[in-house]
Amino acid sequence: MSRKATLDRKAVQKFYSYWEDLMEDFPEARAVAVKAMGEATKRDLDAQIGRADLEADAKGTVRSWQELRFGSRGGYAALTPQKASPVRPGKKPKSWHGQAVTVKQVTKWLERGHGVRKADTRKDYAWSTARKNRNRRSGLNTATGLRYVKGRMFYSWTKMKAQEHAIDAANEALEIFAEEKGV
């Protein structure tokens, strides 16, 4: 992951120390700001998933798996995939290493990428044009010769804008509360 994709801890600390005194005076402002920032970041994540190279119906499914959680006192917002298994009515659940595949694992594989298993060449499907087209889209590791699917990195791209959303939400919330309190 590039350096730009990580949150700059010094900038976050500077932001927090700048607003800390005001947030103590207006704890409601902090909760409102965190909620607004979380919702803006969720919209950004949904947009990133929409732009990802996925099948059309898969985009909606992956969006529905992401949930926005808030701290009990409004102190934080977190975007995480659900921990449930994907529901496939009438079909056997997918498994990986003997365990049911969870939504969290699928999201992680889409975010970071994953390897592609070799086709069973004894089966007709291994020689089909659909299989060949799918293999052309996957990458090839030149060192090992193994195929892989590139990561979509929608969480990484969203993380870069999260700090901007936090600053904007804090400014808006404090302006509203300052007007209410007559400061």
What's the CA gap between 15 and 34, in Å, rounded? 13
Structure tokens at 152: 């979509």
Structure tokens at 62: 């992956």
Give the percent of the chain with pLDDT over 90.
10
Looking at residue 1, its pLDDT comes to 45
Give residue-wise pLDDT tens across range 124-172.
766 778 776 666 667 777 788 777 788 888 888 888 888 888 888 888 8
Give residue-wise pLDDT tens across range 99-120.
888 888 888 888 888 887 776 7
What's the CA gap between 125 and 79, in Å, rounded? 38
What's the CA gap between 103 and 108, in Å, rounded? 9
Dihedral Cα 25, 27, 32, 33, nearest 10 deg: 60
